Amino acid sequence: MKLFNNFCLKFENTDWSRNPEFGLLDTIFEEHPELYDIVAPDLFSGNKANGFGRGDTPSIEQIIRAALYKELKAYDYRELEYAQTDSRICANFIKLDLRKPFSFQMFQKYISRISAESLNKLLIAINQIAISEGLEDLTSLRIDSTVIKTNIHYPTNNSLVWDCIKESQRLLSRLSQEIEGLNIRNYKNSAKTIYYKINNIKSKEQRVKLFYKQLTTFTKCINQVDQVLRNPKKKSCNLVAQYLFQGLEEHLAMMRKVFDITKRKEILGEKVPSSEKVFSIYEPHTDIIVKGGREVHFGHKINIAGGKSNLILDCQILDGNPSDSKLFTPTLERVIENYGVTPRNTSTDGGYASFENKRAAQAKGITNIVFNKITGSLKNQVSSKNMETRLKKWRSGIEAVISNYKRKFAMFVCNWKGKAHFDAKVLWAAIAYNIRVMTRLVLAKIALQ
Residues 66-75: pLDDT tens digits? 999 999 999 9
Helix (H, G, I), strand (E, B) or coil at 154: coil
The reply to whether the predicted model has a pTM over 0.85 is yes
Q: What is the pLDDT of residue 15?
A: 67
Q: What is the pLDDT of residue 291?
A: 73
Q: What is the pLDDT of residue 445?
A: 82
Backbone phi, psi, residue 326, to 5° = -85, -5
Do the beta carbons of residue 149 and residue 414 sit within 8 Å? yes
Q: How far is residue 183's CA from residue 166's CA, in Å, rounded to a whole number? A: 17
CA atoms within 13 A on the CB side of 335: 33
Q: Which of 82, 39, 46 is nearest to 62 (CA)?
A: 39
Do the beta carbons of residue 57 and residue 47 sit within 8 Å? no
Q: How far is residue 294's CA from residue 108's CA, in Å, rounded to a whole number? A: 37
Whether the CA torsion 423, 425, 430, 434 is positive or negative: it is positive
Q: How far is residue 241's CA from residue 243's CA, in Å, rounded to a whole number? A: 5
Angle at 18 between CA 12 and CA 22, to 5 degrees: 75
CA atoms within 13 A on the CB side of 244: 23
Do the beta carbons of residue 397 and residue 374 sit within 8 Å? no
What residues of the chain score a pLDDT lower than 70? 1-15, 45-56, 292-294, 449
Q: How far is residue 128's CA from residue 291's CA, in Å, rounded to a whole number? A: 32
Q: What is the pLDDT of residue 207?
A: 92
Helix (H, G, I), strand (E, B) or coil at 328: helix
Instruction: Give the torsion through C-alpha atoms of 334, 339, 345, 346, to 10 deg.
Output: -30
Q: How far is residue 430's CA from residue 68's CA, in Å, rounded to a whole number? A: 11
Q: Which of 321, 312, 308 is nearest to 402 (CA)?
A: 312
Q: How far is residue 369's CA from residue 358's CA, in Å, rounded to a whole number? A: 7
Domains within the chain, CATH numbers bracketed? 14-111 (no CATH), 116-152+285-448 (3.30.420.10), 157-276 (no CATH)
